[in-house]
Amino acid sequence: MTELYIRSACSADLEPFAAAFGDHRYFTDRLTRQKNGRGVLFLAWLDYSLAGNVYLWLEEAEERPIREQLPGVALLTHLQVRDELRNRGVGQALVAAVERRLVEAGRDRVALAVLTDNHDAARLYDRLDYRDWGHGEVICYAQRRLPGGGILEEPERCHVLTKDLAKPSAPPPRTESSVVGVSRQG
């Protein structure tokens, strides 16, 4: 078993993040937002390797339907777990860290958008008590870097899910570190 450690990102995490997920621009943007109090980028580490990340968006939603229906509700965005570590509790631990931070800040609700064809993520969120918001699908926009350096915004059909944080769901982890079913590689 290996210990999973989750913490908010700092500028020294840039190189490990880029090596693990290959998205320097995303990391830089989220870290800038975090420094300005507009969100928190959580990183999950197994030993000295980056295992996953998730961003807690504390700004108003960019998508008009979400902004109008869920004003002031924080968003869990861009959950990523390295392929070889999926289905081992890393994503669940990252979501739990976001939820704990929100509860500590006095928030009682969180939302997220999941691609309509991302069935694995939808199953995870269902297990974690996220439910459809009842206002239909939303078009979200993903940014993709073009070979010449430009940015292309691509529309994506998403389901919006919410969770009432006041209701207890799963017992909280013992500490910020928790044991995950991952074997140490020597």
pTM: 0.85
Query: 95: number of CA atoms within 13 Å, CB side?
Result: 24
pLDDT in tens, 72-102: 999 999 999 999 999 889 999 999 999 999 9
| Residues of the chain above pLDDT 70, percent | 89
Domain 4-164 of CATH type 3.40.190.10: no
